[in-house]
Structure 1
Amino acid sequence: MTILGLHHIGHVVRDMREAVERYGTLGFTLPPAAYPVLPPAPGAPAEPFGVANTHAYFPGNFVELVTLVGGEATGRMPADARPIPLRVPDDRLAGIVAAIRDTTANLISCLGRFEGVHILMLDTDDVGHEAARLSQEGVGHGGVHAVQRPVETAQGTRMEPVRFLEIDGTAPGLVAEGRVGLAENAGSGHGPHPNGATGLLECVLCVADAELSEVEERYTRYLGVPARAEGAARVFDLRDAAVTLVGASALGDLLPGERCPALPGFAAYTLATRDADATERFLRGRGVPLGRTAGGEIFVPSEAALGVAIVFRAGGGRRSVSSA
């Protein structure tokens, strides 16, 4: 098995300032948001363009907050947001601008559905091998790409290479629920987070009841492993995490009070925490509303977390939100 777990999930937000404040209230430590700056054409002045992001890092994965900047943006940026000048040769500028515009169009499409999680990147130790396997399975994808990304550590920011691919479906780089792909090298991360969170364990995808079997078959090909039935849910166990599918009619049984505003959609993600009781005390002390999953774990409702429920699980493990 070369798909090991979850590399990161992407929480697409309309207003980065609000999102950073909300995640701070929820007890996450975030570096200043960064956004790219480049000229849209040779000789033009540089300007914000594309997407801005920041991350809640863990030792082996992370949660990304991402939003639009530039002409398509409607929200605000934090005062400490950092511009990242992109230096691109004139003969490559048009291609880079076109690629960024494709990414921006994808995010606009995601936000048109709802504010919340629209990106699921799976962790692999060999993205080239997985690209070949996906092709053999008849899964379309955009091929393997290599980029450098900044990683915040206790010693400062460093650049790390990342190889990734995105699965094609409804459009290049998009499937019905958003952006799904695979990536290497999630980085070592840093912390700690005041809420006690230590890692990303699970992503929950809510689908129309009639489409559960079709989506299960699709993710069987994506992940290369079969799902197991756990009540109304279908759980794909990876080495370090899980992807859980649930029909819309059963979501409220697993996460009381929750509904997905558009189907299919990522409804929740689960984080490991060192001490669930301490996490609960911390969140209640911040005035954060909490629910209980079917398995008795605490979760922050989606209405308090900008469109996605956040579950906290003591000690980690691959149990799903449906576990009793």
Structure 2
Amino acid sequence: MSAEIKHIHHVGHVVKDMGVALEFYRKLGFVCLIPAYPMMAEKEGEEPKPLGMANTHITFLRNFIEIATVVKDEERIPDNANLVPIQVPPAVLPRVLENIKRTIDTVSRCLARYEGTHILCFYTPDVEASAARFDKCNIGHSGVNAVQRPVETTAGVQIIPIKVLEIDGEDVPEGRLAIADIPPLEILQAQAHMDHPNGAVELVEVILCVADHEIDIFINRYQRYLGRDVRADGLTRIIDLESARITIVPESRLANILPGEAAPTLPGFVGYVVKVRNISATRKYIEGNGLPVMETTVGDIFVPASAGLGTVIVFRQAGRHKF
């Protein structure tokens, strides 16, 4: 099978209140960037205006966690917000706006379902190759779009062009799926704010929970998207990427891998896993900030969804799994 999709690019935690989310993630020990409010002129010559979303990133070397929220027209943008004007050539402006509005509509629908993880983006060094394979496999997608990603480095903010492909035209009830490339390695290595007090170094797993009778449907879908085989791992099904994986678990077995957890509206991404340098130090930091910590049967620790704004956040000792 093809393997041009290499890793997890990012996950997106969609929240109701950005301020509450920032406080929570900082208690977990993550460094959060100042929230960005993308702005764009809807017609050539007009002044840019907010597009209806705000987000921030928790940065690792190769990927990141996005915290996103929907911004209603009547809501006041905070004084310290990072207003990010998006500029595109006039010839492609209508298509870019259409894609942005579709994304905002998708995120709005996700938040209406429940607060939690709803966005999963995969990394590939060749988005065009993924688009060609999708065409061959009759997988609906947006086409390859060029966007600008601001990257905060130790030398200041750099605006880096990246390519993105949305998986759409498909039945994707679990949320928003996409594929993207990443900035050059020298830019990634120069990123600021990667030294997290909890010792987190990388996003390594996303957990998707589905109804028992639909698990084969989702296994087949993700095989088609990723071009990789699925393996059984006890109660779950795993798709291995390079140094990361996607776990698909039936609803009846969720509590076996995450004790005490119940699935949100199905299907849904119930949580994600980050790798840390020292799991004992991570636990001490989180508990010291008053957050509950649970244990899995395989030695990971996690903050339950009831305390995690609708998503389970799992912490894993670096080196414990070899993907």
Normalised to the residue count of structure 2, the TM-score between the two structures is 0.90
- The residue type paired with residue 48 of structure 1 is P
Aligned 1:47-196 pairs, distance under 5 A? 47-71=49-73, 79-87=79-87, 95-170=95-170, 175-185=172-182, 188=188, 189-190=191-192, 191-196=194-199
Q: Are the equivalent residues in 2 in contact too, given 1:35–1:81 (CA < 8 A)?
A: yes
Aligned 1:219-298 pairs, distance under 5 A? 219-298=222-301
Q: Which runs of 5+ in 2 are unaligned?
A: none
Say if 1:90 and 1:122 are closer, same or farther in 2 by CA, change over 3 A: closer
Larger mean CA deviation between 86-95 and 8-17 belongs to 86-95
Q: Are the equivalent residues in 2 in contact too, given 1:47–1:70 (CA < 8 A)?
A: no
1:314 aligns with 2:314: no
1:17 aligns with 2:19: yes
Cα distance between partner residues in 1 of 2:297 and 2:77:
37
Q: Are the equivalent residues in 2 in contact too, given 1:201–1:316 (CA < 8 A)?
A: no
Shift in Å, 1:144? 1.1
Q: Are the equivalent residues in 2 in contact too, given 1:49–1:70 (CA < 8 A)?
A: no
SS in 2 for 1:287: coil
SS in 1 for 2:141: coil
Cα distance between partner residues in 1 of 2:319 and 2:54:
30
Q: Are the equivalent residues in 1 in contact too, given 2:174–2:269 (CA < 8 A)?
A: yes
Q: Are the equivalent residues in 2 in contact too, given 1:270–1:311 (CA < 8 A)?
A: yes
- The residue type paired with residue 128 of structure 1 is E
SS in 1 for 2:309: coil
Shift in Å, 1:43? 7.1
Shift in Å, 1:194? 0.6
Cα deviation code 1:122-148 (max 9, x no counterpart): 111111112112222221111111111
Larger mean CA deviation between 280-289 and 31-40 belongs to 31-40
Cα distance between partner residues in 2 of 1:222 and 1:92:
27
Cα distance between partner residues in 2 of 1:103 and 1:6:
19
Larger mean CA deviation between 257-266 and 186-195 belongs to 186-195
Match of 2:39 among 37, 40, 46: 37
Normalised to the residue count of structure 1, the TM-score between the two structures is 0.90
Shift in Å, 1:41? 5.5
Q: Are the equivalent residues in 1 in contact too, given 2:243–2:322 (CA < 8 A)?
A: no
Q: Are the equivalent residues in 2 in contact too, given 1:241–1:318 (CA < 8 A)?
A: no
- The residue type paired with residue 130 of structure 2 is E
Cα distance between partner residues in 1 of 2:297 and 2:243:
22
Shift in Å, 1:17? 1.3
SS in 2 for 1:142: strand
SS in 2 for 1:182: strand
Q: Are the equivalent residues in 2 in contact too, given 1:53–1:67 (CA < 8 A)?
A: yes
Larger mean CA deviation between 129-138 and 78-87 belongs to 78-87
Percentage of pairs with the same residue = 44
Say if 1:318 and 1:243 are closer, same or farther in 2 by CA, change over 3 A: farther
Q: Are the equivalent residues in 1 in contact too, given 2:15–2:69 (CA < 8 A)?
A: yes
Cα deviation code 1:33-53 (max 9, x no counterpart): 110234555676653222111
Cα distance between partner residues in 2 of 1:185 and 1:317:
26
SS in 2 for 1:157: strand
Cα deviation code 1:2-60 (max 9, x no counterpart): 22110101111111111111111111111111102345556766532221111000011
Say if 1:168 and 1:89 are closer, same or farther in 2 by CA, change over 3 A: closer
Shift in Å, 1:170? 4.7
Shift in Å, 1:88? 6.1
Cα distance between partner residues in 1 of 2:94 and 2:124:
31
